[in-house]
Amino acid sequence: MKFNFFNFFLLSCFVFLLSSCLDTAVDEIVISSDASFVSLTFATNDSIPNLNKAVFSLVGDTIVNLDSLPFNTRIDSVFPTFTFTTTSAAFFHNQNTSENDSIQVTGKDTVDFNIKYKLRNFASDQKTFKDYFVKVNVHKVEPELYVWSKIKSNLSSLNVVSQKAIVFNDSVLYYINDGAANYLYTSTNGSIWGEPSAITDLPNNVSLSDMTLFKGNLYLTQNSEVIYTSTNGTAWTTKSISDYNFKSLLFALNDKLWAVTQSKSDISKYYFASSADGTTWNVETSEVISAKYPGFPTTDFTSLAFLARTGKEKALVIGGKNANDKMGSWSTENGTYWVNLSNENNSLDNLATGSSVISYDNRLFLFGNKIDELNHFKQSIDEGLTWQIPDSNYNFLPKTYQSRSYQSVVVYKPIADNKSYEANRIFILGGKGEEITFTDVWTGKLNRKSFLR
C-alpha cells in the first residue's frame, strides 16, 4: 500500500513539472507587431544572368538596388525572396490597378518588376502591416558607349600656325598662334567660349605644343635658353638658363618638371634635365641622350604622365623626331631610365607626327593621322606597350570626325562638381588636316562616367 502511494506521488510530481514546462513554452511564443523589411534577394535564373548580383537597400519607404543591373537585363521573370522581422503574409499590389488586384509573395513564383508594385507585409499578429514600394534599377544606356558631338564648328577665324589646349584652374585654356601674335580663348565648361584675349608676353612666333602644367603654374619653351612661366595663363614671365638651350619640355613626373636640353658648346649633344621648382635645373650631362637612347625624340613628340595601375607615376613619349627623323614610343618611371617600347611591338608603325595622347578610364587613347589606313585613334590597356583599334560597337569616334594631326585633346575634371555634365569629358580642339586647318571643338564622354554610383 505504501509502495503504491509512493508511485502515485512520483507520477503527480512528473505531471506537475511537465505542466510547468508547457506553460513556460507557451509563454515564450511572442506575437509581434513588427512588419519591418529586412532584405530582398533574387534567385539565380539561368535565362537571365546577373539577377542574383542585385543588392537592395531600404531608402525611405522604397526597396531599391542603388547599383543598377547591367544594360538590357530582363526583370520580367524574377524569383524574389523577401525577409521581414516578422510576417504572416505579404502581398504585391499593382499600383496601376485597384488594391484588390494582389499577388501573394511566396518566393516560388516569378514576378514582372517592369510593373510598379506596392508591397504590403503583415506582421505575425496578422493585423499590423507596413507598405513599401519596390524599384528595380536597370541601366537605361550602354555604360561602355562613348557619346560624341561637335559643339563648335569654328571657334576661331585665325590662321592657326600653332595651338594648345590645357585644363588650368577648372577652365579650358585654348592658345592660338597665327605666326604674328598669340591669343587665348577661355571656357569654364568646354562648350561656351568668350572672345579671345591677346597674349603679349610670349614671342610672336612661339610654338605652343610643349606647354606643361607643373605645381599650379604653366611652363613653355622656345628652343632657347629661355623658359616662360605663368601663374594665371595670361601674364607670362621669362627665366634664362645660360648654359643650355631648352629644346622641349617633356612632362611633370614625381614632383619634377622634365625637359630635353641641348648643349651650347656641342649642339649634337642632348641631355635630360629636371627641376623641382621650375627655376633651378639639374642637367644630366653624364649621359648623352643619343648615345644611351638611340632614336629618342627631341621635338615634335606627344607626351603624357599618368598614374599606372600599380599606383606609381609613369610617363610616355610617343612619336616626334630624332636626329634621324625616326619615330618611336618610350616609357619611364623616373625620367632618366627609359624603355623603348618600339622594340617590343610595331603597333604604332604608321603613326604620323602631331599625335595626342590622354589617360581615360584606366586606359590610354592616342589620336592622330595615319595611325592605320582607316582609323585615326587607338587605345592601350597595358600602359602604352601595345595599341589596338577600339571596338566600333562602342562608338569611340563618329564617322563625321575628320582625321587630323596636331589636335589638342584634354580631359576636363572640375574639382567643384565631379558629377556635372562637363565632368570627365574629353575635348578635342582644332588640328591640321591635309588641306585644312581645324578650329572646331568635339566632346565625348563614356556613359558610365555620368552614373551617380
Least trusted range by pLDDT, from 87-91, 106-110, 167-171, 406-410: 106-110
Contact 120, 89 (CB under 8 A): no
Give the model's pLDDT for residue 92.
92
Q: How far apart are CA 52 and CA 343, in angstroms?
A: 47
Q: Nearest-CA neighbor of 371 among 340, 393, 396?
A: 396
The amino acid present at 251, given as its one-letter code, is F
Q: Which three cell numbers stand for residue 211?
A: 606647354
Q: How many CA atoms, within 13 angstroms, populate the side-chain half-sphere of residue 329? A: 22
Q: pLDDT at residue 201 above 70?
A: yes
Q: How far apart are CA 189 and CA 423, in angstroms?
A: 9
- Domains annotated for the chain, with CATH where assigned, are 37-135 (2.60.40), 146-450 (2.120.10.10)
**Residue, of 208 and 51, whose pLDDT is higher:** 208
What would the pLDDT profile of 14-60 be if each residue is shown by its tens digit? 444 445 454 444 445 568 999 999 999 998 877 777 788 889 999 99
Mean pLDDT over each residue of the chain, to the nearest integer: 85
Q: Nearest-CA neighbor of 305 among 250, 242, 244?
A: 250
Contact 113, 75 (CB under 8 A): yes
DSSP string, 243-273: TEEEEEEEEEETTEEEEEEEESS-TT-EEEE
What would the pLDDT profile of 356-391 be if each residue is shown by its tens digit? 999 999 999 999 887 665 667 889 999 999 888 887
- In 333-452, DSSP assigns E strands to 338-340, 356-360, 363-367, 377-380, 408-412, 425-432, 437-446
Provide the pLDDT confidence category of residue 231 given band limits of 50, 70 and 90.
very high
What would the pLDDT profile of 119-154 be if each residue is shown by its tens digit? 999 999 999 999 999 999 998 888 888 889 999 999
The average pLDDT across 346-356 equals: 78
Give the model's pLDDT for residue 325.
57
